[in-house]
Amino acid sequence: MLTKVLSAAHFGLEATPIEVEVNVFKKGFPGFSIIGLPNKSIEEAKERVKTALINSGIDFPNLKIIVNLAPADIPKEGSLYDLPIAIGILASMELVKIPEEKSFFYGELSLDGGLRHTKGVFLLALAAKSLGIKNLFVPKDSANEASVIGGINAYPVSSLSELIGFLNGVSEIKKLSHTVHGSLSTGYEAVEFDFSEIIGQESAKRAMTIAAAGGHNIFMQGPPGAGKTMLARATAGILPPLNEEESLEVTKIYSLTGNIPPGEGLITQRPFRTAHHTTSRIGLIGGGSDPHPGEISLSHNGVLFLDEFPEFPRSTLEALRQPLEDGKVSITRIAGSVTFPASFMLIAASNPCPCGYLGDPKKECKCTPRMIMKYQAKLSGPLMDRIDLHINVPAVDIEKLIASPTSSKTSRGAVANSRQIREQVINARKIQNKRFKGLKIYTNASMKNKHIGKFCDIDKGSLLLLKQAVNTYNLSARTYFRLIKVSQTIADLSPERSRRILPNHVAEALQYRIRTNS
């Protein structure tokens, strides 16, 4: 008998419905074959399905079984077809009744007949909603991803025998109620480093606050041991929580890559990703014959921290140029073209030269001019032009280091901790969210030029200052617009309520832009 069960395949961030056709023949040599361009993980589904059925107390039929994954010309991968194949076989043997209402079956089987956490459930739920398919049978550990989407019924299935009982009307599976974004915790979670633990570096902290508030890219340069890495890691603690739309976008990517932990639904923490300089270009940008998102997409709406920036291969760094500008990355392979969002805030850290002490007031630099040139040439003009804030992180004075633990009692009030800075950042983001409502833009940094004219209120004095700066320092048109964006963020952070860009805001923005030492 022939049965058809509905499941889905993923391509990029889209899920397409796949019909799993199962035929159990009454005659013919016993065998089990799967057709319809399956990859190795689906081939292995045979053994998983067979063992899971036997361990659920069902006699696996010694008959000829053919499974077709239709449409047959789309390559399929992943372990998610285990459940639809098992249900198809059971229905063909007339052991269960498939519901008349169209339903998605999705999930990997364990050998004991249980269902395992399977990636991509969130994308499946989105597809179900747009296709008007009501019911979803998904593994219990992944079901929370589906419950985030309203208007569908997500049934958390813990084992095959439980589902058999439910489909036959013997037992009950309670469908999950809709989880609303607001109900999830967005409270402060302590990270490795707190800003109050970093001694000195007040100007760097201020620049970090601006970068976090407006989502601006930032580049730090300084000798080894000055605290660049610490600053970057502490930034994770001042990032605002994701708003609802941002959260949905991030969850899409995390669901596709299987980065959502079992039992979790929406991602509410802003991503903070670090990539080592040995990360391959495809690992960073995304790619592969079946295109997968890279680190830049995994840090969408969050932060990507690249330590030892010039140590990255030149080709990897230059590949960042287009996503930095567009906030998305298009990957084209034979299988097709996929666009992943990649609107991230870049934090890059570097030494000024190979030995690290160029321009240091106390220690002599031992590099030859040729070595310094070679090192700095790694960071091309067009790439650095896309970074809004350039800061120097000098070595901390020994007097300050010694003084800090003893005087910490008295001066603690003066040093802002991460929690306080985060409040400022959240307030600035609230203003931005209000400003760009309905535009799918969340930060000043992702404004396009047309938005600047519409949203930024620049006073005459500021314009004059900008004009002078562009003429004196030969700044590019892109830099000009980026300066305005940073000025806007500084205005949003300031206590004045007008949000008007004033000359002192522009002056501060300029100070982060003009690099003097190199």
Binding site for other proteins (CB under 8 A): 28-31, 62
Q: Which of 198, 225, 516, 208 is nearest to 357 (CA)?
A: 225
Q: Report the alpha-carbon distance of residue 236 to residue 397 in Å, rounded.
A: 26
Q: Where are the beta strands (DSSP E) in 71-210?
A: 103-105, 108-109, 115-116, 135-139, 153-157
- Partner residues linked to 32 by β-bridges: 65
Q: Which of 434, 412, 415, 416 is nearest to 424 (CA)?
A: 416
Spacing of C-alpha 195 from chain mean position: 24
- Partner residues linked to 341 by β-bridges: 328
Spacing of C-alpha 6 from chain mean position: 29
Q: Report the alpha-carbon distance of residue 332 to residue 338 in Å, rounded.
A: 6
442-459: buried (b, 16+ CB within 10 Å) or exposed (e) per residue? bbbbbbeeebbeebbebe
Q: Report the alpha-carbon distance of residue 31 to residue 45 in Å, rounded.
A: 14
The DSSP code for 192 is: S
155-184: buried (b, 16+ CB within 10 Å) or exposed (e) per residue? bbbebbbbbbebbeeeeebebbeebebeeb
Q: Which of 187, 235, 183 is nearest to 213 (CA)?
A: 235
